[in-house]
Structure 1
Amino acid sequence: LRIRSIEINSTTSYRQSGISQRNLQEFLLSRGIEDISFSDITEEFGESFKIFLKTIGGRKAGYINKCITWLNRLIYIAIDQEVLRSNPLEEVRYEKKEPPKHRHISKDELQRIMETPMYHPRLELVRRAFIFSSLTGLAYVDMHRLYPHHIGKTAEGRLYIRKQRVKTNVEAFIPLHPIAEQILSLYNTSDDSQPVFPLPVRDRTWYEVNQIGSIIGLKENLSYHQSRHSFGTLLLSAGISIESVAKMMGHANINTTQVYAQITEQKISEDMDKLMERRKTMKNNATQTEQP
């Protein structure tokens, strides 16, 4: 596993394997054994492992599913090597995951970020990059790999970005907002051997974004990916069609974009509830004023 992680230039899979293995060892110890042969693994074993992770470890669906996936991979390796004839965990169902909660910032919060220049050059770079992502929907990895050749101009002189998303390999087409154009003009738009934005590494960027959130007074932690979520939510709130938003965000499936539409509809519903509450309060106050 360690060699394989080096080959694919990723340690995430290796770390996850180590975590899953430790969980399995703890589960085996809870059953009074230190090891188990492949031939002794049953469907009941798989279901009990899930219950152990859920009740003893307090783990959520996504975490449990990763552990079960890891165990299934080991079993399929055993099948390939003719240690087993079939997978005894084939009928063990994965846990149902809750729909992801896309956190976004409000229009007012984005405005505060726009109106608050940072004192340190690196913080200011990250602030501008965050604003740019909020106006283009580009994730950090796509910003990190944004080069001058991804930028084009229409016959009318309008700048746009045409780029395949790293995550989905789906092309995104993004006409640039005037503010995004202003930010772009401050960075590399000619040397294709260098990215447009000289962003720091991912962890450092995340730290700087969190600092920016603290500086402008946000109560919750600010993450870089909220810029992308904010882009989708703000566009749909402005009445842009869901098909256009999907194309700009480079979504492989429009169902992904529907999540942003649901957030917008929920916000509209909440705003309407607040409006009705204010009307009710005003009506009650007016009634009390009229009483002798």
Structure 2
Amino acid sequence: MKSTFKVLFYLKKGSEKRNGEVAIMARITVDGKICQFSTKQNILPENWNVKAGKATGKAAGQINKMLDDVKASLNHIYHEQQRRDNYVTAEKVKNEFLGHSENHATLLDLFVKHNNDVKQLIGISKSASTYQKYEVTRKHLEKFLMYKYKLSDIALQEINLMFITDFEVYLKTIGKCNSNTTAKFMQFFKRIILIARNNGIITGDPFANYKIRIQKVDIGYLTEEEIEKILKLNLVSERLEHVRDLFIFSCFCGLAYIDVAGLRKEHIRKSFDGNLWIMTKRVKTGTNVNVPLLDIPKMILNKYKNKLPNGKILPIISNQKLNSYLKEIADLSGIRKNLTFHQARHTFATTTTLSKGVPIETVSKMLGHTNIERS
């Protein structure tokens, strides 16, 4: 987003003092728009070269040096503003030179502040996975700015519909994101713009004519026969054994990855019926989850009882590795489905409960849904 820049010095008409001297003015032009201010220097008109915009005569050396310094400073400010936020006007250059510049907040600065706030709320009202998603979105924007505009940041006032659609194209092409992943990143980006609007940093809504589209995807679930295949696998790898145990555990309790990762002894309690239940809260929504501890997940918990550090009751690994290793388990068991940990949650809802006649309202409560249609 290049612009034209020019600095000119001239004498202000009608500013003659008693000694005949006239004020020397500086005129800044950016993209044809002009802004001027006084250099605080005065000179006799006969000692001024209009064409060169410079002083002549006895005091010329000192005055011209000062004017050269002003011009150099203005040039530096202009180029620095272009590098910093790509939002340059003649008035903005003048204001920064005079020391009362307006603070034009930038996209990545606001994103960093927001993400730092989210990080502090992890375990209170935000999850670590939510923070991670915001961070990944910020990093994509950082790379996009350098790739598309050769910028390290951009003023929020510069964000427009073309910027938004260019970012979407970048995510799908250079970023190699699928449609739904792209849509999720665009949602996180939009939330930062909304914060800027709500705080008066920008007035318009660059997302007004942009629609975020998330395609419905059938995640699917496992049948009883497929669960049986996974259970019967003779695994020699401890790594895959841990992954199978975590996946099967969720198939019989319906907990999302982040909630399984957070399970501790205190979450396993006796309920009104005298049996053990999992009693916790969903990290994502904060809603209560109360699920009876069935025989298979009970056996899995007993398998790791008092064998894990830091109060853990299950051998947790990262969600990314977990999903990667589940592909190996699917291959070994002959299951031709794109096996992911989230599929275990759907398997619980469908195969473990609904197909056994458990009412959908009861299943929804056990899953910790805030809406019965949620997944």
* TM-score, normalised via structure 2 length: 0.56
Report deviation, 1:205: 2.6
Report deviation, 1:55: 9.4
2:99 matched to which residue of 1? none
Q: Which amino acid aligns with 2:262?
A: R
* CA deviation profile, 1:59-98 (whole Å, cap 9, x unmatched): 626515633752673585388475x4x1242522423322
Residue 280 of structure 2 aligns to a residue whose secondary structure is strand
Equivalents in 2 of 1:34, 1:207: separation in Å?
Answer: 34
Equivalents in 1 of 2:244, 2:171: separation in Å?
Answer: 40
* CA deviation profile, 1:40-72 (whole Å, cap 9, x unmatched): 655x64686488569988962651563375267
1:251 matched to which residue of 2? 369
Tell me if structure 1 keeps the 8 A contact 2:290–2:365. Answer: yes
Tell me if structure 1 keeps the 8 A contact 2:263–2:313. Answer: yes
Is 1:232 aligned with 2:333?
A: no
Change (3 A) 1:11 1:246: closer
Is 1:152 aligned with 2:269?
A: yes
Report matched runs for 1:3-42 at 5 Å: 5=115, 8=119, 10-23=131-144
**Higher RCO by CA contacts (8 Å cutoff, separation 6 or greater):** 1
Residue 256 of structure 1 aligns to a residue whose secondary structure is coil
2:60 matched to which residue of 1? none
Aligned length: 251
Tell me if structure 1 keeps the 8 A contact 2:220–2:343. Answer: yes
1:70 aligned to which of 180, 186, 189: 189
Q: Which amino acid aligns with 2:368?
A: G
Report deviation, 1:232: 0.7
Equivalents in 2 of 1:15, 1:48: separation in Å?
Answer: 18
Is 1:111 aligned with 2:228?
A: yes
Is 1:120 aligned with 2:241?
A: no
Tell me if structure 2 keeps the 8 A contact 1:137–1:231. Answer: yes
Equivalents in 1 of 2:164, 2:199: separation in Å?
Answer: 23
Show structure 2 runs of 5+ residues with no match: 1-110, 120-127
Change (3 A) 1:24 1:236: farther
Equivalents in 2 of 1:35, 1:176: separation in Å?
Answer: 51
Residue 228 of structure 1 aligns to a residue whose secondary structure is helix
Is 1:211 aligned with 2:328?
A: yes
Is 1:130 aligned with 2:247?
A: yes
Change (3 A) 1:243 1:45: same
Tell me if structure 2 keeps the 8 A contact 1:147–1:196. Answer: yes
Equivalents in 1 of 2:339, 2:226: separation in Å?
Answer: 11
1:143 matched to which residue of 2? 260
Tell me if structure 1 keeps the 8 A contact 2:168–2:182. Answer: no
| Higher normalized strand content (fraction of residues) | 2
Change (3 A) 1:40 1:227: closer
| Higher normalized helix content (fraction of residues) | 1
Identity over aligned pairs, percent: 24
Report deviation, 1:36: 7.8
Q: Which amino acid aligns with 2:204?
A: N
* CA deviation profile, 1:248-289 (whole Å, cap 9, x unmatched): 1111111215xxxxxxxxxxxxxxxxxxxxxxxxxxxxxxxx
Tell me if structure 2 keeps the 8 A contact 1:188–1:195. Answer: no
* TM-score, normalised via structure 1 length: 0.69
Please report the RMSD computed on the Cα atoms of aligned residues, expressed in angstroms.
Answer: 3.8
Q: Which amino acid aligns with 1:116?
A: L
Equivalents in 1 of 2:285, 2:262: separation in Å?
Answer: 14
Report matched runs for 1:162-201 at 5 Å: 162-188=279-305, 194-201=311-318
Q: Which amino acid aligns with 1:117?
A: N
Tell me if structure 2 keeps the 8 A contact 1:152–1:160. Answer: yes
* CA deviation profile, 1:118-140 (whole Å, cap 9, x unmatched): 21233222222221110111122
Residue 277 of structure 2 aligns to a residue whose secondary structure is strand
Tell me if structure 2 keeps the 8 A contact 1:128–1:183. Answer: yes
Which has the greater radius of gyration?
Answer: 2
Equivalents in 2 of 1:65, 1:161: separation in Å?
Answer: 31
Change (3 A) 1:168 1:192: farther
1:60 matched to which residue of 2? 179
2:209 matched to which residue of 1? 92
Tell me if structure 1 keeps the 8 A contact 2:289–2:366. Answer: yes
Tell me if structure 1 keeps the 8 A contact 2:221–2:344. Answer: yes
